[in-house]
């Protein structure tokens, strides 16, 4: 597991320590942004991405997210450290939920902060592309008619999106 290192240990040109959480409960964007920016005067850009559960035209009752508990946090941390190595970030947070998530609810959050916007935009984009193809999570549909649908199939376009960064 990834140890939680105090944020004040992040100084100068050192690669930052990302915050990674895998949790059943919801998260709050404002709280997470505040945690990255509290007490700092060097941050010029905060970029966040929040992924929500869609109702698929009213046919979906919920998504069930299964994950590999021993690996999910470690794998997202590996992706985050790669992002922090590629871009000059001041902070990086990734939160991914598991369990049952209903339409309109949040599933995933990525926040990248930097001195300038370009690094923050690109790092957040990179994080999401790799979360989709490397983080060990699987979605199963629970349908509005009460039945359990199938497992969501991986999309070729997600693999293609991840390849943009290599």
Partner 1 sequence: MTQTLAEPVQVATARSVRLIYFAWVRERVGLSEEEVALPASAETVLDVVRWLKTRDEGYAAAFADEKLIRAALDRVHAKPGTRLGNAREIAFFPPMTGG
Tokens of 116: 């300038």
Q: How far is the CB of 20 from partner 1 (least distance, A)?
A: 13
Judged by the rule CB under 8 A, the positions of this chain that interact with partner 1 are 51, 65-71, 74-75, 96, 107-108, 128, 131-140, 151-154, 158
Which CB atom, from 61 or from 96, has the smaller least distance to partner 1? 96
Nearest Cα to Cα of residue 103 among 70, 61, 131: 61
Q: How far is the CB of 129 from partner 1 (least distance, A)?
A: 9
Which CB atom, from 45 or from 74, has the smaller least distance to partner 1? 74
Q: How far is the CB of 110 from partner 1 (least distance, A)?
A: 9
Which CB atom, from 74 or from 144, has the smaller least distance to partner 1? 74
In 12-123, DSSP assigns E strands to: 19-23, 45-52, 60-67, 89-97, 99-101, 106-114
Distance CA 164, CA 129 (A): 9
Which CB atom, from 34 or from 154, has the smaller least distance to partner 1? 154
Q: Which residues of 57-80 are buried (b: 16+ CB within 10 A; e: fewer)?
A: eeebbbbbbebeeeebbebbbebb
């Amino acid at each position: 597991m990834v140890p939680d290192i105090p944020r004040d240990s992040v100084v100068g040109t050192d690669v930052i320590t990302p915050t990674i959480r895998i949790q059943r409960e919801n998260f709050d964007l404002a709280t997470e942004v505040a945690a990255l920016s509290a007490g700092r005067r060097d941050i010029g850009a905060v970029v966040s991405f929040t992924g929500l559960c869609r109702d698929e035209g009213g046919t979906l009752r919920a998504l069930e997210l299964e994950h590999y508990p021993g690996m999910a946090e470690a794998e997202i941390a590996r992706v985050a450290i790669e992002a922090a190595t590629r871009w000059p970030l001041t902070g990086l947070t990734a939160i991914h939920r598991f369990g049952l998530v209903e339409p309109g609810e949040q599933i995933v959050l990525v926040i990248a902060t930097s001195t300038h916007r370009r690094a923050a935009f690109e790092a957040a984009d990179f994080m999401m592309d790799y979360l989709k193809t490397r983080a060990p999570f699987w979605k199963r549909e629970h349908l509005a008619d009460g039945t359990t649908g199938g497992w969501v199939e991986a999309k070729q376009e997600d693999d293609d999106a991840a390849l943009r960064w290599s």
